């Protein structure tokens, strides 16, 4: 899913940043949380707090995982869409590819978290997963990117923020079931909306904003391939400005990741810009990749890693080989072992795919 510079070189920083995001999601967080619960050491509480979602208003490290996925999809678009702008490419092919990718991502989201494989129509959740947020945000951003110039893209992104924010502020209620986004989800999705503390339909507008912020980052990188240090500086500067804008707007509309409020989109987008800028400067500008190659094992098969990690449980394999350790480790210690083993099996699957040059793309 990562792309290349127009010079033909792969954007290594994007692969590595994506890999870190997936490593955090599929390995580090579950393993650290499992070990933390087993050890029950006081100083780990602060770490475990940051490795969980904010209950409602506020922002923790773990709340960055999903925005970063959406942002990086946008970052790759100026590279992946460049071939669509060449003369002779039919528009039908462009839209077909975009719709196909969005549809597959949406379907995979239903498999991962929508209970589609349960085959119970009363328990299927139509729109309830990160992959589906990516699909919708990607579709919105693709239409904006293909049909508007730079100014139009900026105006459209701001318009998405305003359209989302106005009814939210007019309602003035940001409680779980009192906010405007929840009422839209209830109207459109009804009983098929899943966890009511998250909203998806109205929040699609700000999903599009997050992907568009990634598009702007990708455009800066692509345009600055001959002046990479300057491009990296622009990414960092914009990141600081967006973090400040998100924090200031948070005084009027709270930063709530579960609603993907406009302040959340700005604040998290700013952090994404900062991370992209740091990784881009370190990897693509300075050329420091020593010790980072293993991260690409996750980053080069992002969708595969996510879908397998979220749908297939390898704990039973670990348990069948280590059940004799359960009475010695205790319940919490043994659970930590199963979690670590599950994460390692997934890593080895991805490692095998990486070495065999098997990269699943959508």
CA distance 211 to 221: 15
Cα-based distances in Å from 248 to 35, 53, 65, 318: 37, 22, 22, 48
User: What are the domain boundaries of the chain?
Assistant: 12-355
**Sequential pLDDT tens for the chain (362 residues):** 433 344 445 689 999 999 999 999 999 999 999 999 888 777 888 899 999 999 999 999 999 999 999 999 999 999 998 777 666 666 678 899 999 999 999 999 999 998 899 888 888 999 999 999 999 999 999 999 999 999 999 999 999 999 999 999 999 999 999 999 999 999 999 999 888 899 999 999 999 999 999 999 999 999 987 889 999 999 999 999 999 999 999 999 999 999 999 999 999 999 999 999 999 999 999 999 988 989 999 999 999 999 999 999 999 999 999 999 999 999 999 999 999 999 999 999 999 999 999 999 88
φ, ψ of residue 10 in degrees (nearest 5) = -75, 140
pLDDT at 1: 40
DSSP E strands: which ranges in the chain? Answer: none
- How high is the pLDDT of residue 362? 82
Closest CA to 212 of 285, 139, 125, 104: 139
- CA dihedral 186→71→108→96, nearest 10 degrees, is 100
> What confidence score (pLDDT) does residue 46 get?
87
Residue 198 backbone dihedrals phi, psi, to 5 degrees: -110, 145
Question: Using CA atoms in the order 313, 127, 171, 179, what is the torsion angle rounded to 10 degrees?
Answer: -20
Q: Which residues fall within 8 angstroms of residue 318, CB to CB, at 6 or more apart?
A: 337, 338, 341, 342, 345
Residue 113's nearest CA partner among 188, 190, 193 is 193
What is the pLDDT at residue 87?
A: 61
pLDDT of res. 90: 66
At 83 the pLDDT is 73
């Amino acid at each position: 899913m990562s792309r290349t510079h127009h010079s033909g070189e792969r954007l290594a920083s994007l692969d590595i940043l994506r890999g870190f995001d997936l490593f955090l999601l599929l390995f580090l967080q579950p393993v650290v949380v499992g070990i933390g619960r087993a050890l029950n050491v006081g100083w780990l509480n602060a770490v475990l707090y940051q490795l969980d979602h904010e209950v409602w208003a506020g922002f923790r490290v773990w709340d960055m995982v999903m925005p970063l996925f959406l942002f990086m999809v946008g970052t790759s678009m100026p590279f992946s869409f460049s071939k669509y702008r060449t003369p002779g490419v039919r528009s039908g092919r462009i839209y077909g590819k975009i719709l196909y990718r969005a549809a597959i991502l949406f379907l995979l989201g239903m498999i991962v978290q929508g209970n589609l494989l349960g085959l119970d129509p009363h328990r299927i959740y139509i729109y309830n997963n990160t992959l589906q947020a990516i699909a919708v945000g990607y579709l919105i951003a693709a239409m904006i990117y293909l049909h508007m110039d730079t100014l139009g893209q900026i105006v459209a992104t701001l318009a998405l923020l305003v359209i989302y924010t106005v009814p939210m502020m007019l309602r003035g209620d940001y409680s779980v079931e009192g906010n405007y986004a929840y009422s839209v989800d209830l109207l459109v999705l009804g009983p098929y909306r899943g966890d009511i503390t998250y909203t998806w339909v109205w929040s699609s507008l700000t999903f599009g904003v997050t992907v568009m912020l990634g598009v702007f980052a990708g455009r800066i990188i692509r345009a600055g391939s001959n002046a990479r240090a300057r491009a990296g500086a622009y990414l960092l500067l914009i990141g600081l400005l967006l973090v400040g804008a998100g924090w200031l707007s948070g005084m009027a509309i709270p930063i709530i990741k579960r609603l993907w409020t406009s302040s959340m989109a700005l604040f998290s987008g700013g952090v994404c810009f900062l991370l992209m800028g740091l990784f881009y400067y370190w990897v693509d500008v300075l050329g420091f990749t020593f010790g980072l190659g293993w991260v690409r094992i996750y980053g080069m098969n992002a969708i595969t890693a996510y879908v397998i990690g979220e749908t297939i449980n390898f704990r039973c394999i670990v348990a069948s080989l280590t059940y004799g350790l359960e009475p010695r480790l205790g319940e919490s210690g043994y659970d930590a072992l199963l979690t670590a083993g599950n994460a390692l099996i997934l890593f080895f699957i991805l490692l095998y795919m990486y070495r065999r040059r098997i990269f699943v793309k959508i």
